[in-house]
Structure 1
């Protein structure tokens, strides 16, 4: 489970200095860090809840046959088929062990109705069961039943049952705004006496933090901490610290976390933000001291150390990041790729690009593709763009080839090296000839390079495999329309594409331009206007404006071109069309420039 505090930390505090770091850190937040607390979403096997006494020994003699039949149904046909049989037995016997078994079956079935029925039965027999209240709370919150949540919490308080489950569940669903709102509404309608419950107050403070009411969250947290008989949980200190930090009160936030760490010196959820806050407050050496002095077990040291490296790199402290890497345990529990990734970034920040590339080349696993993309960028920075393709092809696993090659192909094109992009696609298709994604990209790039015969060949190969694909049909039709005199053949492909995707602006544009090429100008304008209304794209504007121009609707054409120029002033087709048909408009636009 990732807590709200982790979410706020990652989404509202971090501000990487460059776009490249934003990409890097987004990847690392998801791929590197161990969760602050864990939540197992896998379904457990159905087993008796009590191992001391077999469940069948707790069932009355008269019901043993029914129990065995129900158990047989459960094992053979699953929880959904067995639930009603178990419910009948449990409700008749009011046997708590059997009711717990029933609830377990309801949870495994993931059927909210079953969970609610079983927890209702449980609470009717034992109205003090915290586990039953917790499970029913989840059902009610997911169903947006705030009034019933209020009733449930009130009943739990009346039976002197701890509401510890309430703030825990709030942390668990913090990314779900609907569930958070339901909990907030339920708390708001509790009686004044119920609102004095410490776990209700903790949840309320958490909600104040989430809603950006930081001073109110601080006041609520301090009030709870000052009360002698309340649980001083890590969540309470974290709510206070993040509220202080979000108001710019770094030193107060750091003191809060230091106080909390005295009670739980090995707690990763406390140490991680403490170290982060120190770095953000321009005290990286002090943060390093905190990390080095923490007497942590290997898993926690790796978790906190990786996050510390990431934070240091965000704030351009590569030397400390490398020192931190050297302090990490040698047994890295499957996290060596993440550490090497960050080490490479640190070396690059120190302008040691050759070492950075060598280190990044050792990164495997989930970060392999990201490492390859980063290496490509560094090779470009080093003026070694001609080495990119071999590196990509050598590093990329077969199953990742389409996505990785497409990404590097786009990088080449952004850098103005279309020939390298085309070369990469050619080599990738030799290794993976069945990839339609790569073949289609090669076909489009070949047309851009003027190799339209290659485009025709590749698109026909694709159409042999997928003859009804509207994108393939349109691409082939448009290529023939603009590159050859085979207009009727081109229109057959385009019209076939239109039949299959009559709301695709690219296909509609092709159809309209085809009619223009045939001299059917009214038809042309009809379809080009439709395309423009769906997607006011610069190339569509060039076609639509030219069709209007040929019909002497000069003002309308100029208005369309001007509108497109506002959003896409550098589109070659649009500029060429205007220069060819209305050079005075270009002169006018040049004069209007400041």
Structure 2
């Protein structure tokens, strides 16, 4: 035993035997816990016995024998009836998960010290841990009554205290019973609202929250809770109620922040921006304000504001600096500043953006002709999860494809598939890479495997159908595959392009033209332009075809499919 435990045990024992709180010879405790204890034998050395039992209990606990420690202290508690000993015995029994014993001891404690708040709190906690909710009401009601000066705060803590109880309806009933006597307090209604929300009774939760706000109209926490409940049914109603609250309480920053985020979720960006601007003005150094402002600015294409706010974040105590460096790296990459982007990506040291940052850094190195360094960077990146390992594999295969080394890219993917044969991302990428190396039979094998796992994988259906259409094979089957893909993603321009192309192969030129024109309006992609140009050319609308192909080629001279079409039609 450590000296401090030895000293504490001896001090406690001496205090018990010389403090006048002892049992007379032959006296029996009146509560059930005492029935297990033998009567104090006449002439027994109480001091020696007490010191011995205290030491036995503490030695047992130090050795990890919680049962022996609990037995020793429980016996000592009923022998001495000293509140300090009972408290220690109750604590140890709870630690040993002997909840019945702990509750029995807590009853003895309250018998000895009926006005002890600590004893009543301990018993209430034990009843919660033992999930004996029916016995909680009188104890918790007494605790609330004992501390009337803080009854509001205590009511607000009820839901947290009862959080581990799984029967949320029972908890709601208990809190209703405890809070109703204090229904002139807003905290009482808010406690009932929280319990109702946890039990899935949203209408009651909203009603009680409204009552709390009637009693305290400027209560920000309740206003936010009301909006969150309203948003489950109507985002507009939630926005309107928060807008009204913020209008009457302009300094309510948490409510304003919640309102701004709700507006973003409804794509009401200009209104959201107005609230964020106010928040930034009032709190220029608050990361919780700066971060959403930066993200909103980037979402709206305002890269100047986005960049400046991200740079401001780096000067604050924002915990996730890696994410900030990742976004700044993206901005630098978009601005054709590869070295600056690389510097930011190298400062991403963890989190969700770690693997994407390393992949982008490797991509930059590859573009700079540093192929070996790029692959070494990926090889030295330690993946923490299987998903991250897959992302690294995909990044490495992409680097190899961009370098024109398609065979090596397929080998990397094939090796990964040997370890994870049912991963959908690996299967899809391996299929596309197989087509690039001229092995359509392998593409078909991987895509059929993927579709067996995920029959509604729209991109796999489209890829298989397009491959058949491109090779002018099994065109009815290709049409059916692409039609299924289009039904799953009706606004996808690339799937529309596939449908236009298979219709062209089937000789259905008007339908093909209509479909490709719609796809091109959505996305002016060079391959869609190539297909649209060829259909127009076949329909003898050669001037239109020439214009589309030339404009597309001027913007995308590197696209192989477009270049091939231009060479064929416009030599």
TM-score (norm 2): 0.52
Verify the 8 A CA contact 2:461 2:485 in the aligned structure 1.
Answer: yes
1-structure distance, mates of 2:140, 2:382: 61
| Pairwise CA distance, 1:362 | 1.8
Aligned to 1:429: 342
- In the TM superposition, residue 354 of structure 1 has moved relative to its aligned partner by 4.6
SS at match of 2:285: coil
Aligned to 1:260: none
Query: Of 156, 159, 165, which residue of structure 1 is paired with 2:122?
Result: 165
**Partners in 1 of 2:486 and 2:50 — Cα distance?**
78
Alpha-carbon distance between aligned partners in 1 of 2:348 and 2:274, rounded to the nearest angstrom: 38
Q: Which residue of 1 aligns with 2:279?
A: 356
* Matches of 1:529 and 1:428, distance apart in 2: 39
- What CA distance in whole angstroms lies between the structure 2 residues aligned with 1:512 and 1:526? 8
Query: Residue 371 of structure 1 corresponds to which residue in structure 2?
Result: 289
Distance 1:151 1:538, change over 3 A: same
Q: 1:479 to 1:97 in 2, by over 3 A?
A: same
1:392 counterpart = 2:322: no
1:474 to 2:394 alignment: yes
Q: 1:93 to 1:565 in 2, by over 3 A?
A: farther
1:507 corresponds to: 426
- Contact 1:531 / 1:540 at 8 angstroms: preserved in 2? yes
List gaps (5 residues or longer) in structure 1: 1-44, 60-90, 141-147, 172-178, 189-194, 227-233, 254-275, 292-304, 326-337, 413-418
- 1:312 deviates by 9.7
Match of 1:136 in 2: 93
Alignment deviations for residues 545-586 of structure 1 (CA, whole Å, 9 cap, x no partner): 345665955565555444443443344443333332346899
- Alpha-carbon spacing, 1:405–1:311, altered in 2? closer, same or farther (3 Å): farther
How much is the aligned-residue C-alpha RMSD, in angstroms? 5.9
State which structure, 1 or 2, has the greater radius of gyration over its C-alpha atoms: 2
Q: Where does residue 531 of structure 1 map in the other structure?
A: 450
**1:538/1:568 contact within 8 Å kept:** yes
Partner Cα separation in structure 1 for residue 296 and residue 428 of structure 2: 39
The total of aligned residue pairs comes to 412
2:346 counterpart SS class: coil
Cα distance in 2 between the residues matched to 1:374 and 1:587:
45
Classify 1:520/1:352 alpha carbon distance in 2 versus 1 (closer, same or farther; 3 Å): closer
Bigger relative contact order (CA 8 A; separation at least 6): 1
1:579/1:139 Cα in 2 relative to 1: closer, same or farther (>3 Å)?
farther
Partner SS for 1:287: coil
2:279, 2:289 within 8 Å by CA — same for their partners in 1? Answer: no
> Residues 222-301 of structure 1 correspond to what in structure 2 (within 5 A)?
281=213, 283=214, 286-288=216-218
Distance 1:400 1:490, change over 3 A: same
Aligned partner (choices 60, 63, 70) of residue 119 of structure 1:
70
Displacement of 1:359 in angstroms is 3.4
TM-score, reference length from structure 1: 0.50
Instruction: Confirm or deny: 8 A CA contact 2:110 2:120 kept in the other structure.
Output: no
Q: CA deviation at 1:389?
A: 1.7
| Deviation, structure 1 residue 125 | 2.5
Distance 1:443 1:544, change over 3 A: same
Q: 1:56 to 1:422 in 2, by over 3 A?
A: farther
By how many angstroms is 1:382 displaced?
A: 8.4
Between the aligned partners of 1:460 and 1:486, the Cα distance in structure 2 is 13
Structure 2: gaps spanning 5 or more residues: 17-47, 112-118, 143-157, 229-241, 264-270, 384-388, 516-571
CA contact (8 A) 2:468 2:474 kept: yes
DSSP 3-state at the match of 2:217: helix
The match for 2:39 is: none
Residue 351 to residue 495, structure 1, CA distance change in 2 (3 Å): closer
Query: Which structure 2 residues correspond to residues 63-78 of structure 1 after superposition, within 5 A?
Result: none
